[in-house]
Amino acid sequence: MIKVLKAGIYTTIQDLGRFGYRNQGVPVSGSMDSISASFANALLNNNANDALIEITLSGPKLLFTNATNIVLTGAEMSPQLNEVPIQNYRVYKVVDGDVLSFGELKKGLRSYLAVHGGLDSETVLNSKSFYEDITSQWCLKKNDVLSFKSGIHEIENHESSIKHSHQFYDTEILEVFKGPDLELFSSVEQEKIVSGSYTVSKDNNRMGYQLEEISVVHSKSIITSPVLPGTIQLTPAGKLIILLKDAQTTGGYPRVLQLTEKSISILAQKNVGDKLYFDLVPTRY
């Protein structure tokens, strides 16, 4: 079991997401940085879809009351186990009474904590991912108690680790495909949209990131149409909005670009003021 002694700013439970319900208006949700989450589960020999904890900006303080193995990936948040610094991308054994805490955010924005076997939490519509009005909680709070799917379990590679390059997160370049509505704009406007330099605004969360700069002011309109995590919409005022894991399932702004899954993970680690550029990837059929 894990008892939440302090919740942090925005700490949730996520898995790969809630699929098959978009036709009913239910967002996908799931880990914002699916690559870091996948690393965490893989290091513990978990199933790819096992639920873990997503930690945003500021970490929680967690008390373990059962022995298990844990691993942290993603953002560097100065983690400590019983006030002793530990590393990301390394498997640690914890026992009854151990306390995991976090300090200064040094790099990235979101960290992932996995336990061996995954978390045994509420399942709604075939997913454990938190989402307000779908699950009973939208974030963890003080005194919550979380159980492990497999309880106490030893694994042979409890000292295993991987070397992880920060180059993946340091890049400012996001690979994109052409969106279905990009052709509504002239070649000059398309070039301005794709080749612009952008900055993450303060308006960013799990639903989406708005970018600071004005790209192309327009009066184009579309019939409300399907959107996906990674869809980039262009508002009439010329602002770009990048939809992310908790975003709505339809939208009425032109869908000018679409992030790759890798780019969604990179963006999920960006904070206010970070610079971004697009790299248009040729579409292959």
Q: So what's the pLDDT on residue 242?
A: 98
Nearest Cα neighbor of 33 from 285, 278, 261 is 261
Q: Name the CATH architecture for the domain at 171-280.
A: Beta Barrel (2.40)
pLDDT of 119-155, one tens digit each?
999 999 999 999 998 999 999 999 999 998 655 455 5
Q: So what's the pLDDT on residue 164?
A: 59
Three-state DSSP class for 149? Answer: coil
* The pLDDT of residue 169 is above 90: no
Q: How far apart are the first and last CA of the chain?
A: 48
Q: Read off the pTM.
A: 0.92
Per-residue confidence band for 161, with pLDDT thresholds at 50, 70 and 90: low
* The pLDDT of residue 259 is above 80: yes
The partner residues of 13 in beta bridges, in order of sequence, read 53
Residue with tokens 């945003």: 56
In this structure, what are the phi and psi dihedrals at residue 189, rounded to the nearest 5 degrees?
Answer: -65, -40
Per-residue confidence band for 78, with pLDDT thresholds at 50, 70 and 90: very high
Q: So what's the pLDDT on residue 27?
A: 95
pLDDT of 199-225, one tens digit each?
999 999 999 999 999 999 999 989 999
Give me the residue spans of the domains in the chain: 2-166, 171-280
Cβ neighbours for 203, distance < 8 A, ≥ 6 positions apart = 209, 210
Higher model confidence: residue 34 or residue 156?
Answer: 34
In angstroms, the CA 228 to CA 259 distance is: 10
pLDDT of 37-53, one tens digit each?
999 999 999 999 999 99
Strands 173-178 and 275-280: parallel
Q: So what's the pLDDT on residue 156?
A: 52
DSSP state at residue 281: P
* The pLDDT of residue 30 is above 80: yes
Q: So what's the pLDDT on residue 284?
A: 61
Q: So what's the pLDDT on residue 282?
A: 84
Q: So what's the pLDDT on residue 68?
A: 94
In angstroms, the CA 37 to CA 102 distance is: 18
CA distances from 215 to 204, 218, 275, 278 (A): 18, 10, 15, 13
* The pLDDT of residue 229 is above 80: yes
